[in-house]
A and B are shown apart, each in its own frame.
Chain A
């Protein structure tokens, strides 16, 4: 079992003929994801890898192929437009990989998507993968293993590091979700925690947070109220100086709020077991899965 994506996922790739879009579309196909359509305006009627039909609009792709999930690889200036288009076409899950989307755009995009009953993951995220069934985004499939640990993270390669440790120790994953490193994103830690709690295929949850904002603190409160499954957590950025944007637009300590110490304290208060190093995930998850 899994959350958000599985074997019923029918995927459309927005920006399928671009450099990043075509590379990752190929990888998703190879992984076995049901990639049913691509969209690039002006290239409608062509085929990707001589099999996936390309359409001019997402609405056409949905009408012709029954696509229910979209992944977006378009440049930052066009990303908001691509999300609006997917939501209007009736796509239920929209995953935006693009980094560098202006925050002002997101203030309008997020309510628009929500009012249409769709879910947005990202932007500036690696996407998600339910090992063995569906890969939507850029998480390398070969480091994942089907299993019962749900993972949610604000980062990309740090997620790979942790997933790799789990897989090497034969601990499989139900779904790994990268929610993105921007200050405003469509899906929060809380959304993923709720979904993992409600997913019968998930037995334990790993949550990878970082400095900046209060999402991790809010997630810790939610764990206390709602989550009955064991949670293991990590916070990146203990050595980050205040006031500096650490790569991710959202990873910035402003004033006294958003520090790693504050977030770790919130995790511990919610009985979340906190890793000191990425490799600690193995022992901590093993201990809670017993």
Chain B
């Protein structure tokens, strides 16, 4: 029974594979898109917290949308986010807002 792939503890990510509904596919797409942010803001938006880099996990949908739009319009000053935010469509930003609002702040 020992398999080199079989050691993963149960209770982890099992929902993503197998039969996936239409909403499941959309959720998976949002998850893929959100990985763009992880390099700086942490995996699934959970930042290690150093240097004032904000985590995105658990931010309300409304707040996330408002801030991203403020970066895009220039209403909120930034070092880099005004440049990054302009790379994404309204629809993508809405997907990201949904995704991060549903992420737990603490790690799994």
Tell me whether A and B are bound partners.
no
The residues of A with any CB-CB pair to B shorter than 8 Å are none
Name B's A-contacting residues (CB within 8 A).
none
